[in-house]
Amino acid sequence: MGRGRFAPYAMVLPAGLWLLAFLLIPLSFMVSLSLQTGNLVDGFQQTLHWQNYTEGLDTYGGTFARSLWYGLLATVACVILGYPAAYWIAFRAGRRKATYLLLILLPYFVSFVLRTVAWRHVLSDSGPLLGPLRGHGLLPAGFHVLDTGFAVVSGLAYNFLPFMVLPIYVALQRIDPRTVEAARDLYAGRAQAFGRVVLPLSLPGVFAGAIMTFVPASADFVNAEVLGGPGDTMIGNVIRAEYFESGAYPVASALSFTLTAILLVAIFVYARTLGTRNVLEAPR
């Protein structure tokens, strides 16, 4: 009886130790560093300098808002593009489901940076999209996509689209086809069956996909660096610059923890809005 009582704790122990070693302990070091003052030459000392947080928000509040906005736009774009793809693979692909999923994941065999640089070529003025249109005089002389917020959001959506497709696909796969058939037997049309049966049962996948997309997209700096202009800087670019260029570790740590807190609050509000009981519980 005693061994059986502690068996569940033993099973979660490896995951708990992993989170402790690679999440909680580094996070505590980051919080401690965010309250220090000093420089790389003289070193840093713990002074409980809370001004690192207030000054960071005052200076980069607009950058925080832009990062969250770009992350939200990229997440919405991934839902719009990813849900139909996941739906088609789950219900229409037949025996070739694994092949189509592999095609979606295939770009991930290439480096994240290389994919973003390739996307820059696609969106360039002479690229495969705009080049032919410009050659036929279908675009204004000053029209361009690169170095704009649209380019950054499109790059984020392109890079994180599989994070949306896969959770939605898994949720759709778990839907019992007999449930949809029962709705059709009760004279529900295709739109009604989808809106009242398929969509509610697939919300756990949408929820998971949105979290997996929004969090890394909001904290990303590669897409803004490669595809954006001076006015498209995201908070990830600022944190990277403070760490590696300015050597302002306390300020960078404060900005990093502030971003983490903002994302956690956003996730909590999102979960409460959708209803945690309806969204987080797996469909049965």
Domain harbouring 90, CATH code: 1.10.3720.10
Structure confidence at residue 32 (pLDDT): 95
Rounded mean pLDDT, 7-25 = 89
DSSP 196-238: IIIHHHHHHHHHHHHHHHHHHHHH--HHHHHH--GGG--HHHH
CA angle 256, 260, 265 (to 5 degrees): 150
Locate 157 and state its tokens.
């959506």
Residue that has been written with the tokens 């529900």 in this structure: 188
* 2, pLDDT greater than 70: no
In this structure, is residue 264 part of a structural domain?
yes
Query: What is the value of pTM for the model shown?
Result: 0.88
Structure confidence at residue 4 (pLDDT): 66
In this structure, is residue 184 part of a structural domain?
yes
137 torsion bin: left (phi>0), alpha (psi -120 to 50), beta (else): left
Rounded mean pLDDT, 94-99 = 91
In this structure, is residue 177 part of a structural domain?
yes
pLDDT tier, 283 (very low <50, low <70, confident <90, very high otherwise) = very low
In this structure, is residue 84 part of a structural domain?
yes
What is the extent of the structural domain holding 182? 62-280
In this structure, is residue 21 part of a structural domain?
no
In this structure, is residue 18 part of a structural domain?
no
Structural domains in the chain (count): 1
pLDDT tens per residue across span 106-157? 988 999 999 999 999 999 988 888 888 888 888 887 888 999 999 999 999 9
CA angle 276, 274, 166 (to 5 degrees): 85
In this structure, is residue 33 part of a structural domain?
no
pLDDT tens per residue across span 247-281? 999 999 999 999 999 999 988 888 887 654 554 45
In this structure, is residue 123 part of a structural domain?
yes
Q: Which of 9-18, 27-36, 156-165, 237-246 has the lowest mean pLDDT?
A: 9-18
Please check whether residue 234 is in contact with residue 241, taking contact to mean a CB–CB distance below 8 angstroms: no
Residue that has been written with the tokens 């700096």 in this structure: 221
pLDDT tier, 282 (very low <50, low <70, confident <90, very high otherwise) = very low
